[in-house]
Chains A and B, each alone.
Chain A
């Protein structure tokens, strides 16, 4: 199960709203599935960002190292689906990490609607929904 605290959740929703109508992306750190911090990232996808995102690997390296040094862990990643549901698409699946959780936020007309968390298998062929708790969920 992934449980996101108030502060991290606010950062994630604000980032998704700010990026609208484009997809936002970021990372979640904490411990044992408890997300205590969210790090908004720049979407570096070269092209139409309204339906694509890519996280700079250097950002992942930096956050992973910081988490390591602070005794925390990189729990997973988040991104938004503007004017779409919170599902895990074929493109999401093909470009995911099986070691981490993936949270998708549905944002419609710049308002938060729903969120879901997913895990993927090692071959990136199958996603499974994971229980997700956020403030007031």
Chain B
């Protein structure tokens, strides 16, 4: 099972766990399982009500952003580490 690192502010939705292991052949399946059967209260933080990943959420498989891989279809192996990373910008 792939390992997902949970950012500190989201651990309130994972029973305090900093790492969660979830099965899935690709990133879409892993995130869906994480936010439906494993820790459903995470869903609203990661996805819009329409089911799209929120604009500020970047997902990394090891050191690669899935936007530059196969997005939701990015293959996930048991040895992979998945990170949930916010995107930050701004200006006046």
Interface, chain A (partner B; CB < 8 A): 23, 25, 45, 51-55, 57-58, 60-61, 64-65, 67-68, 73-74, 77, 79, 81, 84, 89, 91-92, 95-100, 102, 122, 124
Identify the stretch in B22-30, B55-63, B69-77 within 8 Å (CB) of chain A at 4 or more residues.
B55-63
Q: Are A95 and B89 in contact (CB under 8 A)?
A: yes
- Nearest Cβ in chain B — how far from A89, in angstroms? 5
Q: Are A96 and B65 in contact (CB under 8 A)?
A: no
A68 to B87, CA, bound (A): 18
Q: Chain B's interface: helix, strand, loop or mixed, by majority?
A: mixed
Which residues of A have CB within 8 Å of B10? Answer: 99
Q: Are A96 and B92 in contact (CB under 8 A)?
A: no
A65 to B87, CA, bound (A): 15
The answer to whether B7 has its CB under 8 Å from any CB of chain A is: yes
One of B8, B56, B65 near A95 (C-beta < 8 A):
B56
- Nearest Cβ in chain A — how far from B60, in angstroms? 6
Interface string of B40-79 (1 = CB under 8 A from A): 0000110000000011101010010100000000000000
Q: Are A122 and B86 in contact (CB under 8 A)?
A: no
Q: Please name the residue on chain A nearest to B88 by beta carbon.
A: A55
A65 to B65, CA, bound (A): 15
